[in-house]
């Protein structure tokens, strides 16, 4: 069975602080995808990144960076110099790679509050 754990329920930071959101996953698959989605107060889930299990290279996109470590089954997300607009709930998710479609298994989400 697949499982995603986001142990941090809520994180509060002050603008310009760096913040890391943790994600730990469990799967018996040898090939799989990992995702991060952002859900702002408006409610729409916004796709941020997809990473396949073959590629452990870290990725940076502007103020966002992701650290994938297969050895610890973790896929952590760091926001550098946080801004108020980063306030949202962030979901980590996992899917099979081989079934031809993505059935996403989500973590319970981490609510990030960035205050001015």
Decide: is 113 part of the binding site for another protein (CB under 8 A): no
Tell which one of 91, 110, 112, 114 touches another protein (CB under 8 A). Answer: 91
**Nearest CB to another protein, comparing residues 40 and 63:** 40
Q: Least distance (Å) from another protein to the CB of residue 10? A: 15
7 binds another protein (CB under 8 A): no
| Residue 23 to residue 83: CA distance in whole angstroms | 21
Q: Which residues lie below 8 Å from residue 74, measured CB to CB, with a gap of 6+?
A: 22, 23, 24, 25, 67, 68
Q: Does residue 102 belong to the site contacting another protein (CB under 8 A)? A: yes
Phi-psi region of 97 (alpha: psi -120 to 50; beta: other; left: phi over 0): alpha
Considering only residues 30-49, where is the footprint of another protein by CB under 8 A?
33, 35, 37, 42-47
């Amino acid at each position: 069975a697949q499982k995603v754990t986001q142990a941090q329920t809520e994180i509060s930071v002050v603008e310009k602080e760096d913040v890391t959101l943790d994600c730990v996953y469990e799967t018996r698959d040898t090939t799989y995808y990992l995702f991060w989605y952002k859900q702002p107060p408006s409610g729409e889930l916004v796709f941020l990144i997809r990473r396949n299990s073959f590629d452990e290279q870290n990725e940076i996109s502007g103020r966002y960076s992701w650290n994938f470590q297969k050895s610890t089954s973790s896929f952590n997300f760091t926001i550098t110099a946080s801004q108020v607009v980063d306030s949202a709930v962030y979901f980590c998710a996992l899917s099979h790679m081989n079934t031809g479609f993505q059935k996403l298994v989500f973590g319970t989400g981490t609510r990030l509050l960035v205050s001015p």
